[in-house]
Structure 1
């Protein structure tokens, strides 16, 4: 019997949504996932040291592929459900799932999300960062600042025996207070043994709702914050790239977290 089984049964009997035991990672699994996460962070650091105006997003893809494979890993996005590249590169009005291209050149003033996911010895990790290219105007700087604040406020709510809705409420409230919206139909996810596991992590649900947070759970905190409408459309040609419906800027920062007995540990960011 798992040490939390009785507590989880009691919560479930009260109508709470509780994680399946398979979502609670063992100490051995956590050790291996931490190793994958360390490589994922190193890949993002490698990108951070090279990214600049004038480079193509295809060059970012090569940086990610080469560094990951040279260190024994596999880029998780590559060929995942047909995705053709090793990393997602989402510029300005692209919310997520931008596909790297030789024709897409970073310009002074751009903001870009670089979303890196790594498989190491069969274990998965995932995080993304926003980068400001050159001289970025105050409009974009504010969006980046508020997005970072949203993630940090969400992280503070990632406490054992709280709820996923607590994280969502903190993020959505702060975004709306600053005049922004949060994308509703795309969210975070469980991770570790697979690229995408349960639960789906929404950032627009009320405090005290959604799944109970239990030590051993792993998931991403990755809200997508839009300047204008939270609505979007997907590129019909490639079937992946998600754009804001009103051409406004969008930003996303992703942390991968482990719920512990006394809070949350950030595994990669």
Structure 2
């Protein structure tokens, strides 16, 4: 069942989103060659807590970290590790959730580590643009597939692969709620979008094959062809006046 959030729930999710957005901004300033993904994870948790949020992804499904931190070919679910040192030319995605008084916000950013290749610049731009094109469709009266198909069609038009094994989701008092939000055309309308729905929309794409497998650590998701990958996500509130991005702080 898809929840319609109350005014109180929306306000709590707005606060969670502000904390999460600010955390991402501060962590982004720390990303440079020589820093470890473990250090970034520890810093992210410290900032969340300092701002009054709770790291709700920590320990979720027994995941060993506060953030999923994925590097280069890792699409999602990379495990933070002090031995994993970022180097010039890497790209790194940080995916995590913050809760505020029991209500969650979910967001991912992918960052360039120093100077990166043209391929890296391309996939980061395509993923970012795909999110925003999908977000434009997150309006009352549209249907879920307006978001899904817009993302998938755009990504494929740019020659990139769309991951189909994983998807976005509803969010609120739990991180993963109805509905599922795939990044490809469902070939059906799906649920009608109504004010008060909150969705975590998250394109996950590759420069090559959309076929993926789980790595040897039991968590990291990697394209079968090892191609460069990217992930970008925000929490979106459907309102009577259009989409409101809860997890973005300028």
TM-score range, shorter chain: over 0.9
- Residue in 2 aligned with 1:57? 37
- Residue in 1 aligned with 2:164? 184
- Residue in 2 aligned with 1:255? 234
Indicate conservation of the 8 Å contact 1:44/1:116, yes or no: no
Distance in 1 between residues matched to 2:215 and 2:120, nearest whole Å:
23
Say yes or no: does 1:25 pair with 2:5.
Answer: yes
Alignment counterpart, residue 71 of structure 1, candidates 26, 51, 54? 51
User: SS of the counterpart of 1:268?
Assistant: coil
Distance in 2 between residues matched to 1:156 and 1:207, nearest whole Å:
19
TM-score, scaled relative to structure 2: 0.96
User: Cα RMSD between the aligned structures?
Assistant: 1.2
Distance in 2 between residues matched to 1:268 and 1:65, nearest whole Å:
16
Indicate conservation of the 8 Å contact 2:110/2:124, yes or no: yes
Of 125-134 and 201-210, deviating more is: 201-210
- Matches for 1:87-236 after TM superposition, within 5 Å: 87-206=67-186, 209-236=189-216
Q: For 1:192-239, what per-residue CA distance to the aligned partner results, in whole angstroms no more than 9, with x for missing partners?
A: 211111111011124652221111000111010111111111124x32
Distance in 1 between residues matched to 2:132 and 2:49, nearest whole Å:
31
Report which structure shows greater RCO (CA 8 Å, sep ≥6).
2
Superposed displacement of residue 33, structure 1: 1.0
TM-score, scaled relative to structure 1: 0.89
Indicate conservation of the 8 Å contact 2:108/2:233, yes or no: yes
User: SS of the counterpart of 1:49?
Assistant: helix
**What 5-or-longer segments of structure 2 have no aligned partner?**
none
Tell which structure's C-alpha radius of gyration is larger: 1
